[in-house]
Amino acid sequence: MYEERIRNADLRNRVISPEEAAAKIRSHMVLGFSGFTSAGYPKAIPQAIASRGEAQDLTVFTGASTGPELDGVLTKAGLMSRRSPFQSNVDSRKAINEGTVEFFDQHLGLMPRFIRDSRHHHLDYAIIECCLVTEDGGVVPTLCGGSTQAMLEQADHVLLELNLAHSAKVYGIHDNYREPGIGCRRGIPIYEVTDRIGTPAIPCDIEKIKGIVITDDFGATPKFTPVDEVSTAIAGHLIDFLKSEIAAGALPEYLYPLQSGVGSVANAVLAGLMDSGFRDLTMYTEVVQDSALELLIAGRMRAASATSLSLSRAGLDRFYSHLDQLKGKIVLRPQDISNHPEIIRRLGVITMNTAIEADIYGNINSTNIMGSRMMNGIGGSGDFARNAQLSIFMTPSTAKGGVISSIVPMVTHVDNISQDVHVLVTEYGAADLRGKSPKERAEIIIETCCHPDFREPLWAYYKRALAESHALHNPVCLTEAFRWHERYLKKGAM
């Protein structure tokens, strides 16, 4: 069955068990795993490494987040000591915040460069999920471009997981491209969302491939986050804002290419675009989720470029049953290309990212709850927001059932600075911050975005800041800037 998926005869002799693969991994190694937002990550080999339990102090790099069969098992087995660039697994997050895993949070668009350049973190093994190996050793990933190309290039050795659950017919959906070195660059020739400039398979030195493990399992596919009332309200304000920009002649009716974060609010926005009659949409983004897939199938979205297809179990079935229709409309790229400033700026991307909290001046905390607790990572928000034609950040106005205000006097960690935040949206409204001074931003954010329960205390803080601040450009009360957070940590409510 798998033989036809390994087109090189030599390589067919390198099929091994997950246990044999795991035995090659030794303590202190640096491992590069494929995978981006729960798509395309290997499962059998990391589980076997964890079961074996002998390789300690592993440095684990990926494209972005993976699932329980990778981050989960390696963390629980206590084998992972360093992790980059992004994670969202409950166990790895816990270990990072307990201080047992050192996490290095990176712009996702720079991860391939880090893998290529970092002389202190040379990859011993690249462990890659694929659906096909070509005659000359070319690796065809499953549904994730990610950092796989850089890993296959740089690693001393390669282990493949050939996952038969994914169809080999995805051959052709990937566009693997490596930017030339400094001094030889002549621009990346992507001018439309689905322009193809690379190869369908990733070149790989056959000698480096030390084993191929056969699997047949979609694994722990992401759950489709249901759209709730708050998300729908946020999406409504955002879409109203886009319509007002169209009416003012600032955006075309088909919009510019969209980038969208993941989760409930992002799903609500894409569902809202469908319901609002938008047509000829495109995406230039990191992740295509179920909601975007439906726009593509329905013909409302013309084309999408991403670095991974992160689909629910039902979404995978939808994808494979429409594969012929979808293949010309979707391109999966390496994450340095999906997140490249040159392309994002050129295409005029409208970016929509999620905040954990925002402050009255429009600074965004995307990562560290209460300044210290890592959620997932900055992801691609910094790659996209700074280069966006229109940068939108969204958050429900409260968290934890209303005891936390997402709009605060000062964010406890800054990931996206106020200059990179054009519009801030909560379920109470959309604040257009462009061309406004800090004091003007404060007034509109408190009035438009803040939950009514916190509006009066926030006005009170702001007035004290105006009265007491060292200077009046960006008024702050340093003594009480974090008092809301301190109160939450002590008393369980802001």
**Using the rule CB under 8 A, which residue among 34, 87, 260, 387 binds a copy of itself?**
387
Distance CA 213, CA 243 (A): 50
CB neighbours of residue 110 within 10 Å: 16
Q: How far apart are CA 305 and CA 313, in angstroms?
A: 21
Number of residues that bind a copy of itself (CB under 8 A): 77
Binding residue for a copy of itself (CB under 8 A) from 4, 9, 99, 229? 99
When the beta carbons of 183 and 452 are compared against a copy of itself, the nearer one is 183
Applying the rule CB under 8 A, the residues between 190 and 249 that interact with a copy of itself are 191, 248
Q: Among 1, 9, 120, 452, which residue interacts with a copy of itself (rule: CB under 8 A)?
A: 120
Report helix, strand and coil shares of the chain as percent, to nearest 5: 35, 20, 40
Residues 6 or more apart whose Cβ sits within 8 Å of residue 417: 363, 364
Shortest CA distance to 164 belongs to which of 308, 268, 44, 315? 44
Active site residue 179: no
Least Cβ distance, residue 183 to a copy of itself (angstroms) = 8
CA distance 494 to 492: 7
- Binding test (CB under 8 A) with a copy of itself, winner from 8, 17, 56, 118: 118
Is residue 345 close enough to count as binding a copy of itself by CB under 8 A?
A: yes
Residues in the chain, how many? 494
For a copy of itself, the binding residue among 36, 41, 103, 241 (CB under 8 A) is 103
Residue 437 engages a copy of itself in binding (rule: CB under 8 A): yes
Indicate the residue type of 77.
A
Nearer residue to a copy of itself within complex by CB, 460 or 478: 478
- At its nearest, how many Å lie between a copy of itself and the CB of residue 90? 14
CB of 96 to a copy of itself, least distance (A): 5
Site residues for a copy of itself, 417-436, by CB under 8 A, read 417, 419, 434-436
* Options 69, 129, 161, 286, the catalytic residue: 286
* CB contact at 8 A, 8 and 205: no
What is the closest distance, in whole angstroms, from the C-beta atom of residue 103 to a copy of itself in the complex? 6
Instruction: Give CA–CA dist 275/296, Å, rounded.
Output: 14
Minimum CB separation from a copy of itself for residue 240, in Å?
18
Task: Return the residues of window 438-457 that contact a copy of itself according to CB under 8 A.
Answer: 439-440
C-alpha–C-alpha distance, residues 476 and 67, integer Å:
41
Of 105 and 175, nearer to a copy of itself (C-beta) is: 105
Residue 412 as a binder of a copy of itself (CB under 8 A): the answer is yes
Binding mask 276-315 for a copy of itself (x = CB under 8 A): ----------------------------------------
Residues 6+ apart with CB under 8 A from 318: 290, 293, 294, 297, 311
DSSP per position, 260-322:
E-SSHHHHHHHHHHHHTT--SEEEE-SEE-HHHHHHHHTTSEEEEEESEE---HHHHHHHHHT
Active site residue ranges: 286
